[in-house]
Amino acid sequence: MKPLSGAVCLLALAAALSGCGEKEQVVVYKQGQYQGKADGKPWDNESFSGDKGNWEATIKARNQSQNEYRRING
């Protein structure tokens, strides 16, 4: 029974120490310049093909299905 409890203690110690390491962070921001991906419009994708009106109608329909007053009153 002793070797098993020793192995469990060593495993727990290894797991605890593995969180102490520090990973190198990628610098995405340089002074005055953003290096990341440019943001696009939410309707510029395959689902809406750039149609802003269709995207707005879909969002309104989704919001209405989440409206508690409308769901309760039937």
The yes-or-no verdict on residue 74 having pLDDT over 70 is no
Greatest pairwise CA separation for the chain in angstroms: 69
Residue identified by tokens 């093909």 is: 49
pLDDT tens digits, one per residue of 39-61: 889 999 899 999 999 999 999 99
On the question of pLDDT at 1 being above 60, the answer is no
Q: Does the structure show a pLDDT above 90 at 16?
A: no
- Strands, E assignment, 7-73: 29-30, 33-34
Beta bridge partners of residue 34, listed in sequence order: 29
Q: What percentage of the chain reaches a pLDDT higher than 90?
A: 22
